[in-house]
Amino acid sequence: MIATTRTADPTLLTALEQNAGVRAIVGLALSEDIGRGDLTTEATVAPEATAVAEIRQKAPGVVCGLPVVALVFATLDPRITVTPTVAEGSFGERRVVARIEGPARSLLTGERTALNFLQRLSGVATASQRAAELVAGTGCTVLDTRKTTPGQRVLEKYSVRIGGCHNHRAGLDDGILIKENHIRAAGGITAAVTAAKGRTAPMQLVEVEVTDLAELDEAVAAGADVILVDNADLAGLRAAVARADEHGTNGRRPRLEASG
């Protein structure tokens, strides 16, 4: 694996930090873990005690989620100070990624929630980086899906981008993707695309999932802008690219995506 040195886009960081949904997720996570109170900490740690802690990264990977760690502790106790020691989105191993200082009770109560977010998001970002490196220089990009952990989508899609891949639809209201069940319900590819085109804005793209070249041809003829080739092997993908190029000679070359 190539140890890529990268840092998060400041615009992306700002969007995350200002996202009300992220604050709601953090609040829910804290409520889920703390419940009626941290019985162990309250029983064993003096209220006036203070502490300093370090978060250490052991395995190689992309660190992602430091702003969420800060939000966890800010939500729990504004007296806690979180100081990142590496850049969000940077690759490394065996290093301190953040230092935390404040009331010992609050630090102990919030540590697991903070680490859960940091570990999960860093894992997604690291996997994303590996995927991006596999297609580097090919002209292809890797897109994510809606197959995310329920309630965690905004964070996981953020992590995908931190790792170097790209987001597909954020939700059902973020684009038209006609899949197998839509096609069956509509009565066929042509009927589904025609109906979708009749309800979209002029610049709205219509994407259609296909499983063979005949369906690809029908989707293009119906006016689909993007073709998602599903569950094809390498030979099938090459054939789909060649067929799309043929349509391109008539000015109807669709953009291709592959999944499976």
pTM of the model as a whole:
0.89
- The residues of the chain that CATH labels 3.20.20.70 are 175-259
Residue 112 appears among annotated catalytic residues: yes
- Given a cut of 80, whether residue 79 has pLDDT beyond it is yes
Which residue among the candidates 36, 58, 94, 147 is catalytic per the annotation? 147
- The residues of the chain that CATH labels 3.90.1170.20 are 10-134
Which residue among the candidates 144, 209, 218, 225 is catalytic per the annotation? 209
Q: What is the mean pLDDT of residues 101-128?
A: 98
CATH hierarchy code of domain 175-259:
3.20.20.70
The overall average pLDDT reported for the chain is 93
**Per-residue pLDDT tens digits for 150-177:** 999 999 999 999 999 999 999 999 999 9
Which residue among the candidates 212, 217, 230, 257 is catalytic per the annotation? 230
Cα angle at 221 between 219 and 225, to 5 degrees? 60
What is the residue-wise DSSP string for the chain?
Answer: ---------HHHHHHHHT-HHHHHHHHHHHHHHHTT--HHHHHHS-TT-EEEEEEEE-SSEE---HHHHHHHHHHH-TT-EEEESS-TT-EESSEEEEEEEEEHHHHHHHHHHHHHHHHHHHHHHHHHHHHHHHTTTTT---B--S---TT-HHHHHHHHHHHT-B---SSGGG-EEE-HHHHHHHTSHHHHHHHHHTTS-TT--EEEEESSHHHHHHHHHHT-SEEEEES--HHHHHHHHHHHHHHHTTT---EEEEE-
Which residue among the candidates 179, 184, 238, 255 is catalytic per the annotation? 179
CATH class of 10-134: alpha beta
- Residue 260 CA to residue 253 CA, distance in Å, equals 22
Per-residue pLDDT at 29: 97
Per-residue pLDDT at 4: 47
| Single-letter residue type at 150 | P
- Given a cut of 90, whether residue 233 has pLDDT beyond it is yes
Q: What is the mean pLDDT of residues 138-150?
A: 95
Query: How does residue 201 score in pLDDT terms, banded at 50, 70 and 90?
Result: confident
The answer to whether 178 touches 227, Cβ cutoff 8 Å, is no
Residue 207 appears among annotated catalytic residues: no
Percent of residues, the chain, with pLDDT higher than 90? 85
Per-residue pLDDT at 6: 58
Q: What is the mean pLDDT of residues 54-64?
A: 97
Per-residue pLDDT at 7: 60
Q: What is the mean pLDDT of residues 144-151?
A: 95
Residue 243 appears among annotated catalytic residues: no
Q: Which residue has tokens 């430091």?
A: 66
Percent of residues, the chain, with pLDDT higher than 70? 96
- Given a cut of 70, whether residue 3 has pLDDT beyond it is no
- Given a cut of 80, whether residue 8 has pLDDT beyond it is no
Which residue among the candidates 56, 112, 146, 253 is catalytic per the annotation? 112
